[in-house]
């Protein structure tokens, strides 16, 4: 029944997004949901291969993108593909478009942040914090 409800959730997900309910897709769906932390595509691929040794890495990437688009999984900060240098050395934050990945500076004074340091291990040496406001820019909104 665990597998039954999980399978039902998967089928619901697929029909909502107009996707075929394939075996590979289902295993990936299950594996991603049972993994903890912030795995890379390679790590997910390694796990899925234990259940479908013949699966292709490309299939994993393609479906992860679909899952991210559908919101069933997220992305730990937006992946820009390459290193981005910050030349503005004043304290500030960012507005990031998840469509075109454009980055806009936001003045620090637009935010008032209170942090309860108690929740962060005293052994961790905090140097700074940054806030990313994520969404869609005007151009990407009308895709």
Partner DNA sequence: TGACAGACGATAATAGTTATCTTCTAATAG
Partner DNA sequence: CTATTAGAAGATAACTATTATCGTCTGTCA
Binding mask 86-125 for Mn ion (x = CB under 5 A): --x----------------x--------------------
Is the CB of residue 141 less than 8 Å from the CB of residue 102?
Answer: no
> Measured from the CB of residue 55, what is the shortest distance to a copy of itself in angstroms?
16
Question: 20-57 as b/e, with b when 16 or more CB fall inside 10 Å?
Answer: eeeebbbbbbbbbeeeeeebeeeebbebbbeeeeebee
Is the CB of residue 10 less than 8 Å from the CB of residue 63?
Answer: no
Binding mask 51-70 for a copy of itself (x = CB under 8 A): -------------x---x--
Residue 44 touches DNA, criterion: CB under 7 A? no
Residue 89 partner contact from Mn ion, a copy of itself, Zn ion, none using kind-dependent CB cut-offs of 5 to 8 Å: a copy of itself
Binding mask 50-79 for DNA (x = CB under 7 A): --x-xxxxxx-xxx-x-------------x
Q: What is the DSSP letter of 80?
A: -
Task: Name every residue whose Cβ is closer than 8 Å to that of residue 6 and which is 6 or more positions away in sequence.
Answer: 30, 33
Residue 82 touches DNA, criterion: CB under 7 A? yes
> Judged by CB under 5 A, which of 11, 99, 117, 134 binds Zn ion?
99
Calpha distance 110→123 (Å, rounded): 30
Residue 87 touches DNA, criterion: CB under 7 A? no
Residue 112 touches a copy of itself, criterion: CB under 8 A? yes
């Amino acid at each position: 029944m665990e597998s039954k409800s999980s399978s039902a959730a998967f089928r619901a997900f697929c029909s909502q997004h107009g996707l075929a309910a394939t075996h590979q897709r289902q295993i990936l769906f299950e594996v991603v949901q049972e993994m903890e932390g912030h795995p890379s595509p390679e790590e997910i691929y390694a796990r899925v291969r234990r259940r479908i040794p013949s699966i292709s890495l490309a299939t994993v990437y393609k479906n992860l993108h679909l899952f991210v688009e559908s919101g069933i999984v997220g992305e730990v900060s937006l992946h820009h593909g390459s290193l981005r240098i910050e030349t503005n050395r004043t304290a500030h934050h960012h507005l990031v478009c998840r469509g075109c990945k454009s980055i806009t500076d936001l003045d620090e004074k637009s935010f008032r942040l209170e942090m309860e340091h108690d929740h962060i291990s005293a052994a961790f040496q905090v140097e700074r914090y940054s806030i990313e406001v994520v969404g869609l820019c005007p151009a990407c909104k009308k895709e």
